[in-house]
Structure 1
Amino acid sequence: MAGTTYTTVSEGNQFLDHITEKGLDNESIIQRFNEVSSKYNEALGSVNFMGPRTLAAILAELHPSGRENVRVLDVAAGTGLVAVELRKKGFVNNDGLEPSEQMLAEAKRNNLYGRYICDLVGENTFDIENDTYSAVTMSALSIEIFKKLPVKALEELARVVKPGGHILMVQYDYAFDSKVLKANFSNLEDRGLWKLIELRPVSDFTHGKPGLVSIHQVLM
């Protein structure tokens, strides 16, 4: 698949089906992203992937001024598509966290982040100090991982964001129906770590398929 070209919606959807196959463990998911890293941008372009542009636009709403001073952690950074859109909006102080070394290498080639952190969002602790960022963005974390994000993962996202900052996550709308994800989102809200500001629909997350953005504000 790495040698294939992606010029049509059908070809792009086949690519997405490959990297989002149900039942894959984390190691297999990361390996697939390593294998397709050089074609990732082309494939997502073929389905008019709206995740990065959507997150950048919402973050711009939240920060109408002083964007050059807003430090952002882009989680599941991939090849840096979110960073490209953030820069267009004036956000230039961005770090990327991504478990696929080859995807991160693509971002490095284009000098898209200040810091490149090769790590997975899960049960682990990030090598990041508390209250480092004004915002976290997460565009299309692999859906098999996203639907089962543990409490620890969400705690880590909240830990590295300053109180009052925001965590923006975008994915296909049905992914947010996960009982595990809903329970873990509520866990942090019940404990006063964050609050849900909005669930915003994205009519064409990829071509003809709806998405959803969760906007949380970190409280402590």
Structure 2
Amino acid sequence: MSDRYRDARLNFNLRKTMTPQQIADMYNDFADEYEEKHLGLGLRSHLRIGEYMADTYPQDQRATLRVLDVGAGTGLVGEMLSELGFVQIDALDPAQKMLDIAKTKNIYQRLICAFLNKDRIDEIETDQYDCITAAGAFNEGLIPVCAFHEMIRIVKPGGRIVFTITDKYIDVTDGYRNDLLPFIQKMADEGVWDVTAVPLADGAIHLLDGPGTLYSFKVNVTEKIL
């Protein structure tokens, strides 16, 4: 295992000067110990995603829904969804070694190694998925606000974008502090999506990170040029 970017794994302020590729390399470097480390520290975001998906989609619908797990990492969300009866699950993550571990769990149909940003991901068709999930993927150096353009494109009208974020990360992340919440409201005002915001108590997403929100955006359009 490489020691590159070791301090930035838990100190998000150190990520502010890192490139997206360096962020991906950081996750590649500690892929083998990711689950042990973060579950030990109290990572719970995948549990919240699973609970919401179970409450939202009846059991008899789950096997036919196409789900894209964004920031899939080693597959914690995928495992939850698979246990709940979701079958058609794909994984997207920029760190190949994280995806290599996820592959061993045999829960994903496709594993796509790519960054999620404003650029089109050629491997994914427009309106391909019924739902996007993302747990632990919204903090410094990870998914930027501009990536919602691509998420809107790949989710079917009537489909959902479901993710968790702590209040702390909105406050301290440069790309979110002044932009994320106004953007969410702007897209709602324009009819791009309908917003459900579920408040989450202190420690519900991660024991160390305070309260937050689970967002579910019901997408109403095929594509939105931002």
> Structure 1: where are the runs of 5+ without partners?
4-13
Moved more, 121-130 or 49-58: 121-130
Structure 2: distance between partners of 1:90 and 1:20? 38
Are 2:211 and 1:215 equivalent residues in the alignment?
A: no
User: Residue 224 of structure 2 corresponds to which residue in structure 1?
Assistant: none
Question: Is residue 73 from structure 1 mapped to residue 71 from structure 2 by the alignment?
Answer: no
Superposed, 1:18-167 pairs within 5 Å as: 18=11, 21-23=14-16, 24-65=18-59, 66-126=61-121, 127-141=123-137, 143-146=139-142, 148-150=144-146, 153-167=147-161
* Corresponding residue SS for 1:207: coil
Give me the whole-angstrom Cα distance separating, in 2, the residues matched to 1:83 and 1:186: 29
Q: TM-score, normalised by structure 1?
A: 0.85
Give distance in 1, aligned partners of 2:200 and 2:214: 6
Offset, 1:2: 6.1
Amino acid paired to 2:206: T
Q: Where does structure 2 lack aligned partners over 5 or more consecutive residues?
A: 172-176, 222-226
Between 103-112 and 205-214, the greater mean CA deviation after superposition: 205-214
8 A Cα contact 1:146 1:175, kept in partner:
no
Deviates further, 207-216 or 121-130: 207-216
3-state SS of paired residue (1:144): coil
State how far apart, in whole Å, the 1-side matches of 2:141 and 2:8 are: 18
Per mean C-alpha deviation after superposition, the further-off stretch among 156-165 and 97-106 is 156-165
- Bigger CA drift: 178-187 or 158-167? 178-187
Change (3 A) 1:142 1:16: farther
Q: Percent identity?
A: 28
Q: Distance in 2 between matches of 1:195 and 1:85?
A: 25
Secondary structure of 1:140's aligned partner: coil
Contact 2:69 2:91 in 1 (8 A): yes
Q: TM-score, normalised by structure 2?
A: 0.83
Q: Is the 8 A contact 1:147 1:181 kept in 2?
A: no
Q: CA deviation at 1:183?
A: 3.0
Q: 1:19 to 1:117 in 2, by over 3 A?
A: farther
List per-residue Cα deviations over 1:144-165 (Å, max 9, x = no partner).
1357421xx1021111111111
